[in-house]
Amino acid sequence: MDSNNTLKRIAFWAYGLVCYAAFLVTIVYAIGFVGNFWQALGWERSQFRSMDVGTTPIEQALPVDAALLGLFAVQHSVMARVGFKRWWTRIVPPALERSTFVLCASLCLALLYWQWRPLGFTVWQVSSGISSFVLIGVSLAGWLIVVLSTFMIDHAELFGLRQVSRAFREVPDGGVGFSTPAFYRAVRHPIYLGFIIAFWATPIMTMGHLFFAAATTAYILIAIQLEERDLIARYGESYRAYRRQVRMLLPVPSRKPIVPLPITKR
């Protein structure tokens, strides 16, 4: 076997693992950052930052925070588009395209955690112990929905592991099947729904947190339109039928019965 080819396959696999590890670190950090859990756990070191701890003058905070959120939105939306992928894979090996996307998203999030400027003015605060714990539980449930939703489709494919694994084993890309398991039969975008729940359910809502939650929700609504445009272009009438049967974000019963659809997902 060609030693150069073997080293290349190992390098692809190692790169995919590094990118996935970066994702794991940033998503776990996000839970503590958004929920202000680091301070609650007594982790006061500067490495453990929280969204609502501290305060910055609004004229200094808003431009920085808006730029950080805008950078993530642009990276996430542009790199996910079919046209960009077609151009990008002329530079990056196709097997590494998704892993590179994941790495870039993780770096954007790391920059946001590092440079975020908190706005400490309190919009609302739930002081009742039971109510506070309920809101924290709802927020954690949102994060759980995000994680579970990725496994209900194809977690490994979504985060680039399957692509580098196929490259390592020299197995051709067989494509990803679209399915509507569990949460995907209640809403079309349970991952986005989980994020919205996680961001808005908080016992202490500061101006900075409100700006973050509102901006990310607005981005999610825009991102859904872009994503569904790509899905319709790929799956045609099959995805249109799915849209007619399942709500976008609100898990309310559909007016039409859910029937098996001959379509594939992501």
Lowest mean pLDDT: which of 62-66, 71-75, 261-265?
261-265
Q: Which residues contact 29 (CB under 8 A, 6 or more apart)?
A: 109, 110, 113
Q: Which residues contact 134 (CB under 8 A, 6 or more apart)?
A: none
DSSP 48: S
Residue 256 lies in a domain: no
Residue 33 lies in a domain: yes
pLDDT the model gives residue 265: 37
Residue 17 lies in a domain: yes
**180-214, pLDDT tens digit by residue?**
788 999 999 999 999 999 999 999 899 999 999 99
**What domain count does the chain have?**
1
Comparison of pLDDT for 102 and 36, the residue scoring more: 102
Find the DSSP H helices in the chain. 3-35, 37-40, 58-80, 82-88, 94-115, 129-152, 155-158, 161-169, 190-200, 207-235, 237-245
**69-94, pLDDT tens digit by residue?**
999 999 999 999 989 999 999 999 99
pTM: 0.89
pLDDT the model gives residue 178: 67
Q: What is the mean pLDDT of the chain?
A: 88
Which residues form the domain of 82? 3-245
pLDDT of 233 strictly over 70? yes
pLDDT the model gives residue 5: 83
- Backbone phi, psi, residue 27, to 5°: -75, -35
Residue 251 lies in a domain: no
Residue 225 lies in a domain: yes
Name the amino acid, one letter, at 88. W
Q: Which long-range contacts (CB under 8 A, 24 or more apart) does 256-263 make?
A: 258/180, 258/185, 261/180, 262/238, 263/178, 263/235, 263/238, 263/239
Residue 264 lies in a domain: no
pLDDT the model gives residue 237: 86
Residue 254 lies in a domain: no
Comparison of pLDDT for 173 and 102, the residue scoring more: 102
Name the amino acid, one letter, at 213. A
pLDDT of 256 strictly over 70? no
Question: Which residues, in sequence order, are bridge partners of residue 204?
Answer: 125
- The encoded tokens of residue 118 equal 């908190």
**CA–CA separation, 153 and 159 (whole Å):** 12
pLDDT the model gives residue 3: 73
Residue 257 lies in a domain: no
